[in-house]
Structure 1
Amino acid sequence: MRSHNHKPPHYSLLFFHLLSALFLHSATSKIHNVLKRGSSLSVEDGSDIITSPDGSFACGFRNEGGNAYWLAIWFTSSADRTVVWTANRDRPVNGKGSKLSLRRNGVMFLTDVDGKVVWQTNITTYNAQRAEVLDTGNLVLRDPKGEILWQSFDYPTDTLLPSQTFTKSNKLIAAVRKGNFASGYYSFYFSNDNELKLFYDGPETSSIYWPDLGLGTFLNARVSYNSSRIAVLDDMGRFASSDLLKFSASDLGFGIKRRITMDYDGNLRLYSLNSSSGSWSVSWAALSQNCNVRGLCGRNGICTYSPEPKCACPPGYELSDPSNWHQGCKPTFNRTCSDSQQVKFVEIPNTDYFGFDIAYHQGPISVKACRELCLGDCTCEAFSYRHVGDVVVCFMKSVLFNGMQTPDFPGSVFLKLPTSVEASQTAVLLGSNAMCESSAPAVLLGSPTMYYTDTKRVRWVYLYSLAFGIGAIESLIILCGWWFLFRRSRVPATVEDGYRVLLSRFRRFSYAELKKATNSFKVELGRGGSGVVYKGVLTDGRAVAVKILGDMYQAEQEFWAEVSTIGKINHINLVRMWGFCSERRHRLLVYEYVENLSLDKHFYGIVILELVRGVRLLTWVMEGGEEQEVELTSFVRTLKMKIECKEECWMEDLVDPRLNGDFDRNQVAALVEMGLACMEQDRSKRPTMDAIVQFLQEYVAE
């Protein structure tokens, strides 16, 4: 009998391969080239992303610890998947139930686990057909014809990519720390004088720190007359701006992935990607020495090199918050002015604190003399003594901010400390810690109920929706009433940003502080067209003059003018401005209080200008009725006829005789015409200041 060993068909193996293929297909199908209308991305599936056609960029949810998630765009080829844009940087969503949806009405929403909308595209049309990520890293919404309705390039966070236009409405804001995408203290933007600047906006002070304000626009190789305010980084690695700021990558050329990032340590850097290792290298930086960044080590802190930048506390001080160096250092002693004999000075060589000078002395002055000056001023916390060329300079410091220690600094800072500070505390510096390495707890959102099963989570969503529906009408009434009452007192965010740009060297006061200092604005010193001035006394005993700006819209212009102009002037006849208050609708300026009128009246007496006769003439015309107006009109017409008839003999009487007739008669005629235009009775026919400035610039160029 012949036996046959027939092997059964491998149906099980075939079935296994079929299941594997189906599984792989379902897994890879989560990667989208586009997000179509009516579809969504889930936070719970890390592979649920949108990729660019060439695979360079991806868009999806990113987690940096805890259960906080951000909708982000990142480089896929970098080792750390570097994030270049986030939608909800200051409002992370939960790791359960959150999703990005392109709804059927054409609007793209980001919702949290409870269904609340955290972020959405601000478009007025509801015709969006699909969302996609371009090879440039730009997330766009397109209509059925392919036209772009919205793009992430218009709303940068901390990074600028090649071909991404940077305008006056954009701002790069650094992350608060590494691994946390929330907005930090540092920003890069076009200021109101049309220049690109780096700005520190900390909890206690604000300051522009790049370019160097001491050099001015010309020496910084910038221009401020171009109001277009636009900049771009091209594919070669070259950056160009309307203010003439230009720089290039050290590895200039095509085919390299790059980015400009406002880093969390306050420096602006251009990075180039090594395609083989996936690592980034710095190919340009705004600041070669990172300790020049303002606010790195907080109040009283000192930035030093060992050799990398680190933060340290000076003698007699200790770290305020070990998890955040921006909080600076706090004194280990109580300040008092009762006994100057119980005070000593500790020298920290090659160190200085920038700004907050209450006094300045230049010339042949000794360290001992500076010491006596600081002892005599209760508000003096330290003094800086340095050599500037052959000149010795002494600065009295009321607040210690922006400390920096470098081996090549030609001076020292002398701290005023009580004699009770132990000898072990008088070392040059206390223990230091690497900056920006502060630890922070992971961001945790929500409650344990958010981690229940899908059914229970849906039930909670229904309950939340029901509660919301019940209170919707009442909430709407309250919000409408609030808007109606307070809409006129609101200050646009752009105006607040403008204030911060200008206030780079003054103390910020709260309204409560100034109200207390002036005893509820009791003693009035005077009033003018822009506001009322009151006398006050600060907590440190200094007498001040506090000016409350009046009408809201007029006060905004007055605020800009006084802070940007008077704040930059240091003259013997002008009082100094010490600070400001910009809180809600309150706009106040704090000046030095000077007794017995202004100094010019005591030094030089009263000066009467020849301009008074011109003022009298205008007053005479305004008060004299029609007869004087007819005479003035006749004079203007006569002068116009002389110009039109090319009668040049009259020019000799108007031009300075010291020119001996050597002047351009066309320019004189044009200037007279401009002056006559300014005298038009109809205000609408008079030229604007912009037109006058442009007119003068054109003739100067000729």
Structure 2
Amino acid sequence: MDPSKRLWLSFPVSLLNLIFLVSLFGARPTFAASSISAEQSLSGDQTLTSSPGGNFVLGFFSPTRAEPRKFYIGIWYGKVSQSQKTVVWVANREAPVSDNTTSELRIAGDGNLVLLDRSGTLVWSTNATSVAANSTVAELLDSGNLVLRDGSNSSGRVLWQSIDNPTDHWLPGGKLGLNKVTGKNQRLTSWRNSEDPAPGIFSLEIDPNGASEYLILWNQSRVFWRSGTWNGQIFSLVPEMTSNYVYDFQYITTPEENYFNYSMKPNVTLISRFMMDLSGQIKQRTWVDNTGNWILFWSQPRAQCDVYMLCGPFGICNERSLPFCSCLRGFSEASPGSWNLSDFTGGCARRTPLLCPRNGTSVNGGDQDRFLRMDNIKLPDNYRLSLSAVTSAGECESSCLRNCSCTAYSYDGRCSMWFGELTNLQQLGDGGGTLYLRLAASELPNSKSSKGKIIGVAVGAAAVMLGAIALALALLWRRRRRRFKALRVVDGTLVPFRYGDLRWVTKNFSEKLGGGGFGSVFKGTMPDSTQVAVKKLEGIFQGEKQFRTEVSTIGTIQHVNLVRLRGFCSEGTRRLLVYDYMPKGSLDTVMFRDCSPVVDWGTRYQIILGTARGLAYLHEKCRDCIIHCDIKPENILLDASFLPKVADFGLAKLVGRDFSRVLTTMRGTRGYLAPEWISGVPITAKADVYSFGMMVFEIVSGRRNSDPVAEVKNWFFPTWAASRLGEGDMLGPLDPRLHGDARMEELERVWRVAFWCIQDEESCRPTMGQVVQILEGVVVVNMPPVPRSLQLFGDKPESIVFFTDGGSQVASSNMISSNSQNKSTTSTSSMD
């Protein structure tokens, strides 16, 4: 062979040998995908992936891309979109490193897992009593638990684990509790803000005094929420937190410790998490793949503004605005950067200093501090002084002005004054008190102006007005005539309204009837005196053509138990719907307000039956099945004769069905959500059936399902009702205001319908068409099994039988038949 060719062929072999030698002596050691041992380390973009399912990932992360960047060692979900990276545990949450490429996570000489910065300085350690380094292994498990174990023997004794040292997340298998021997309280502590995982101001922990309840604390000193005590099945104030087909919950107490933990049911692939949010709420969220988002399932405290000091000093909380916190007039954010990162606890600072009397004398009247009147305010929580000797509002104001420390006062027949910072202010829709906030005079418009200015303005205004008044009257007459013609509501016709017209008929949206997840509803009066309800939609982003097409489809759906759509408006980003006005309002107003007259049994039964007919029409009689997705008393309206009409049924079609998982849970209607909402499976019409069943309980009992009842310790109403019915007491759960005045045959039908509708498995629930037949007496059913979620009885083989008046059976293919009634059946069908 030619020597030159021989040299050419040998060159690649020599190059490969060189590469091999470099990799052997100069490269960073490799390590197993889910663990770190003594000779290995992790830095830069290297990660561990949990085994065997890859549910979790451990590595360096930075909560922000802004410079200078800060890096932390954390654990996050591996199967959640990285655009929604969700960190569940942070090692060095109070000590970030500045460079992840030169920092290392490794096993130290004492066997502990440690984080070293670029200079080799110890940043974080597991601080476990360990064995020699060459036998210690750190492994990330598929449960999200990072364990440090002794690898020198087959037992692999656990020396330390992250699940015993939680940060803000509580993962399945983890404990939240108190070690009575060491005094250690395993608590969840919120992040400081959305870009800083350092411990924040809010924490969740078990009662250190030994009571079987959990507390949320502000600054680890002020308790502002309690779970209620554990009764063996649920925490009394958190009925949502109960074992079901997804979770098993248990509270454990021993001489050494008290703790609560939970686990996922076998074969459940749902990704769900509990966290102490920086909003001051404990939240449960569920990942839904087809939306690519975390969905809020429940939160406590339920009202965001119930969180103590959420908005800080001189901040005010408003449930009807986003963000919830804002500064009082005359104040601005004390730390704008923190507010931009959703940390409002620093509160607000006064823009203009107050002027105070000096040496007992008043300052110049024009510069004297003044007061801003604020109505419908939840008054501050901090210290106030009540002056019984002050007998007028003017005297109360003067008393506050004379004291430099007085920042606000209120007078309701008695004078109250506040000093220093004002905390926990809340803007209410109605109710509350009137607060007078002290501000520098320059922060408020001066009520005094010169006579010359007043005269000049008056003369000029008069001249302009006299010149325009005749023209205005003529134009108004012509406009009203055109508008009357345009706004006539014609039966059977869907009217396209202009936004200006709807603003006119609602008097600039001045009379609000209510509101919900989709927007607010206002009362309007057409020129022919027809009353309508106008709904301003929020979060509807379809193009105008698509919106008009969808609305036209909904406008053709008419049923006596559905609220009729009269017209719509689609201009730019404005979307409004016009409905018939319902004079009795919504069902929740009639049923739950103390001032409302008691609704008799016959009316309640007709409301239940009419609502069922409306839903059956949506599910079974329309060209396409329409799933409402948000059945609750607020969405059932009543006309003058108490005829029920299902409202907002078109919004599921307009917005898409995934909206309800977000809006209804965020707006406080989670008690009506079927269990499948949290499992990520496609939603069927049976989700409406479940919600209907929960609402039936409330109609019959006259109370909210989750309202506390003094005489009942376990006050989740369906659970209590099941126990009473199990004892044969049909009247016990009935609204006591009815004094037992109900037809027993109808009451029995209603109880059976309600319990069948809330079965955990959707295949076990009847259709709404079957519900109508049961309520009408055409079909008879036996008492169903108690749902597992109610936690009263164990699993028992139960069954359902349908009987027609003629004796023939109409049975669902999903249900087992039995001979529990005094009529016979002709055929049976088995459940898969």
State TM-score, norm by structure 2. Answer: 0.41
Q: Which has the higher strand share?
A: 1
State TM-score, norm by structure 1. Answer: 0.49
